[in-house]
Amino acid sequence: MTAERTANNLTTGSTWKNIWFMSWPMLFVMFFNFLVSITDIYVAGFLGPEIQAVVGFVGHLYFFIIVVANAISIGTVAILSRSIGAGKFDDAVSTARQSLLFGAICAIVLTLPGFLFKDVIIALSGFTGDVRETAVKFFVVYVFALAPNYLVILTNAVFRAGGDVRLTLVAMFFVSIINIALDFLLVFGIFSFNGMGYIGIAYATAISMTAGTMICFLLIRRSRWKGIFSGRWNISYNLVKRIFILSWPAALIQISWNAGTIILYNILSRLQDVSITAMAALTNGLRIESFIYLPVFALNMAASVLAGQNLGADEPDRAERIGWKISLSGVAFVSLMALPIFIWAWEIAAPIAKEDQALAETVRYLRITMLSEPFMAISVILAGSLTGAGDTKGAMIAIVSTHWIIRLPLAYILAITMEMGPLGVWIAMALSILAQGVFMTARFKSGKWKKLQP
């Protein structure tokens, strides 16, 4: 059974055509994710800056908990795309089956400690009193949605590795529609249903992910991947070992990024009278900034699959050309997106940041971070090529080092020691992204990733 008959082979033909084939569905997927994220914050804005801060913090904390699923998905894409590029689709199906089983087990194992240590985990935020209690309740609902979330992430990774990105598009369209509708329905109510208040935002996520799992399984049944359900559901030690070797650096990247964001919230919480305003501004700014991430992460995912398939087909030079083309295209596109956000930051932030001080701080955040967006783009997209090639350690070194050596120490020094307040944190974030872009470019240019055999 050949990959050409059973999966979308991206190792021949026009590189620009292949880039477009992979990118446009992922761009819509990222747009759907953005709509969900921005809706969460928009709805929370009606409930006050405290709820916005909670939604932002717990959202990042939740991403920290699903780091295992994201890491497994990166290892899965690297292995699956190589198999497909080499024409070994049966091996890809077996890997996909074991990846889903492994991810489900990890989610179940993590659910219990997440629930038992919820108070300790939320204490990292620096929230006090009623705000902390609100965050705990919010977090508990997310914890019990781990398993369906893991399965959605890993199923979409399987689709993506095989070039079946339209299946991912279909799945995430329905997940997003359900989540957005439930945000308003569960929080504010309708007709005789009075609504659940802020906790409805969390339940909207949990319900939509559960529905998403069922949708993903239905798509598997009706696609070329239906063989996943017909094989033996066992786990190969060697395969788990391979996934682990590829995944732990990716996991460390996720841990570093999300732990770093939590620490930034903690630094901002020390700013006394402006702490809540600053944390709300960070939440609002990250959500708005995530609009720019849409094409970047779409291209990151496309670059990962294209690199993996072409290396599997023994086409390293083609993989490199695609890496440069896709990353430089992303830089140009992101630069065009960042300019209007810089100019009209106030008008863009106003619908989300409804309180005057939070709005002003959000605008300042946006205008500083927009200057670093081109470096963010090249860093994230080249990281996609590196991880697709199996060079997860190279991507890890570039991201983790700049985060913990530059961003966090500098944020504390500027904001607390030098008493610059939130402005110091925004400057530290921008400078660390600039350094990250430079380091990632150097790693990709070295070409070491072309010789790896994940």
Q: For 35-67, what is each residue's pLDDT tens digit?
A: 888 888 888 888 877 787 788 777 767 777 787
Give 347-414 as a 3 state SS string: HHHCCCCCCHHHHHHHHHHHHHHHHHHHHHHHHHHHHHHHHHCCCHHHHHHHHHHHHHHHHHHHHHHH
Owning domain of residue 396 = 3-451
Structural domains in the chain (count): 1
Residue 442 has a pLDDT of 93
CA–CA separation, 343 and 336 (whole Å): 12
Residue 13 has a pLDDT of 74
Contacts of 282 (CB under 8 A, 6+ apart): 56, 264, 265, 268, 365, 422, 425
Token pair for residue 176?
A: 């997003």
Residue, of 400 and 240, whose pLDDT is higher:
400
Tens of pLDDT along 165-175? 899 999 999 99
Residue 1 has a pLDDT of 39
Residue 126 has pLDDT above 70, yes or no: no
How would residue 125 be classed by pLDDT, with cut points 50, 70 and 90?
Answer: low
Q: For 146-167, give one letter per residue: b (16+ CB within 10 A) or e.
A: bbbbbbbbbbbbbbbbbbbbbb
Token pair for residue 144?
A: 């019990």
Mean pLDDT for all residues in the chain: 86
Residue 4 has pLDDT above 60, yes or no: no
C-beta separation of 232 from 65 below 8 A: no
Token pair for residue 76?
A: 């899965």
Contacts of 206 (CB under 8 A, 6+ apart): 141, 142, 144, 145, 148
Cβ burial, residue 417 (10 Å; 0-12/13-18/19+):
exposed
CA–CA separation, 95 and 231 (whole Å): 11
Residue 65 has a pLDDT of 76
**pTM reported for the whole predicted model:** 0.78
